[in-house]
């Protein structure tokens, strides 16, 4: 594998609209980037830019609501799984200092006749923010489609059937998280940061490039590397579920969001955490086994519930 110094930027159109050579190069570059960094950056994607702009505009309006209003939307059906989660609730695994953030969750969009409808908490929509449900329903579907395309490309390198990931994530428990990191409050615990070092739980995370910098990954030399790209590009990272089923061929890379070094201002970001459906089995992929699987099979739902407990969301 060639030595990479920066997270590679790949054009999704190279895979979706390119010739055979273009597609093959995208597939190889995707696998190389994920194996080396656990991260890649996607440009030329199909998510409409006006939709992204609208989403950030509404996210800012949402978090500008007063605390009493936001607290009306705390999910009572499943802690932190839908609606509003207050500032300082979540913490990284094995780190009991709370992160300096608040967030809102939008989950899978199913009709009442769907077999998984009762398996998921119901989405919560704030009445104070016009066009919220429509906008974030569209964002959710758009990012889910991008995730399916990326996983489809990855299936070639992992030597699994083209439908392998599609079958795993169809109607999955994926989460769109609207994140707000307020200016660091005066007197904040110096041990607290916007998002402490952690790995994601899911298969892949698709992060719409944030409004300000701060995201860093821990590279193979144990150095923190800033992850920055142009506005409206998508940052993609591999989570623990993907690392588990690939026997760590693709690592779940540690990353964090550091406190601002310059102007102490708001930061907004929008990660889409792509999960399998609850009945999907996380099993080691044959091409990744080498001599043996490092982890036993586990239902994705059981793995998710354990990890949510680890971070204070269950």
Residue 43 lies in a domain: yes
Per-residue model confidence as pLDDT tens digits over 184-243: 878 778 788 888 888 999 999 999 877 787 899 998 889 999 998 988 999 999 999 999
Confidence at residue 188, expressed as pLDDT on a 0 to 100 scale:
78
Residue 1 lies in a domain: no
Query: Could you tell me the pTM of the whole model?
Result: 0.93
Confidence at residue 291, expressed as pLDDT on a 0 to 100 scale:
81
Confidence at residue 1, expressed as pLDDT on a 0 to 100 scale:
42
Confidence at residue 260, expressed as pLDDT on a 0 to 100 scale:
83
Helix (H) or strand (E) run with residue 21 in it: helix 20-36
φ, ψ (nearest 5 deg) of residue 13: -65, -25
Confidence at residue 295, expressed as pLDDT on a 0 to 100 scale:
94
- Per the structure, the complete domain to which residue 155 belongs is given by 9-230+241-310
Confidence at residue 301, expressed as pLDDT on a 0 to 100 scale:
92
Residue 286 lies in a domain: yes
Confidence at residue 79, expressed as pLDDT on a 0 to 100 scale:
66
Residue 2 lies in a domain: no
CATH number at residue 13: 2.60.120.330
Q: In the β-sheet with 215-218, what is the strand arrangement from edge to edge?
A: 195-198, 255-257, 215-218, 224-226
The span from the CA of 105 to the CA of 89, in Å, is 14
Confidence at residue 282, expressed as pLDDT on a 0 to 100 scale:
97
Residue 72 lies in a domain: yes
Encoded tokens for 84: 């509003």
The span from the CA of 37 to the CA of 112, in Å, is 40
Confidence at residue 132, expressed as pLDDT on a 0 to 100 scale:
98
Residue 30 lies in a domain: yes
- The helix/strand/coil state of 261 is coil
In angstroms, how far apart are the furthest CA atoms of the chain?
57
- The number of beta carbons lying within 10 Å of the beta carbon of residue 291 is 5
Rounded (10°) angle between helices 132-158 and 49-63: 120
Residue 61 lies in a domain: yes
Domain count, the chain: 1
The span from the CA of 310 to the CA of 35, in Å, is 26
Confidence at residue 88, expressed as pLDDT on a 0 to 100 scale:
75
- How far apart, in Å, are the Cα atoms of 44 and each of 14, 50, 89, 148, 309? 9, 14, 35, 16, 37
- How far apart, in Å, are the Cα atoms of 231 and each of 48, 77, 94? 13, 35, 33
Residue 266 lies in a domain: yes
Q: Name residues of the chain where pLDDT drops below 70.
A: 1-3, 78-79, 313-314
Confidence at residue 47, expressed as pLDDT on a 0 to 100 scale:
96
């Amino acid at each position: 594998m060639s030595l990479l110094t920066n997270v590679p930027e790949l054009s999704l159109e190279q895979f979706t609209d390119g010739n055979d050579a273009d597609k093959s190069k995208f597939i190889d570059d995707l696998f190389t980037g994920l194996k080396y960094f656990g991260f890649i950056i996607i440009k030329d994607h199909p998510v409409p830019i006006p939709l992204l702009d609208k989403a950030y505009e509404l996210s800012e309006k949402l978090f500008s609501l007063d605390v009493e209003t936001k607290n009306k939307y705390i999910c009572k059906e499943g802690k932190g799984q839908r609606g509003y989660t207050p500032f300082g609730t979540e913490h990284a695994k094995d780190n009991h200092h709370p992160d300096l953030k608040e967030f809102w969750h939008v989950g899978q969009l199913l009709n009442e006749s769907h077999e998984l409808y009762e398996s998921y908490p119901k989405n919560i929509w704030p009445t104070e923010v016009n066009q919220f449900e429509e906008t974030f329903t569209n964002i959710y579907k758009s990012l889910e489609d991008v995730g399916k395309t990326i996983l489809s490309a990855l299936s070639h390198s992992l030597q699994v059937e083209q439908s392998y990931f599609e079958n795993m994530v169809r109607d999955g428990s994926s989460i769109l998280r609207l994140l707000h990191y307020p200016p660091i409050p005066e007197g904040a615990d110096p041990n607290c940061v916007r998002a402490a070092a952690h790995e994601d739980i899911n298969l892949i995370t698709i992060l719409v490039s944030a409004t300000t910098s701060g995201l860093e990954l821990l590279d193979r030399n144990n150095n923190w590397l800033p992850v920055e790209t142009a506005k409206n590009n998508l940052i993609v990272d591999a989570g623990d579920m993907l690392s588990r089923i690939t026997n760590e061929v693709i690592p779940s890379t540690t990353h964090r969001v550091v406190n601002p070094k310059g102007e102490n201002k708001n930061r907004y970001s929008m990660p889409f955490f792509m999960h399998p459906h609850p009945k999907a089995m996380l099993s080691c992929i044959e091409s990744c086994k080498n001599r043996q699987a490092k982890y036993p099979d586990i239902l994705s739902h059981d793995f998710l519930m354990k990890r949510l407990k680890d971070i204070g969301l269950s």
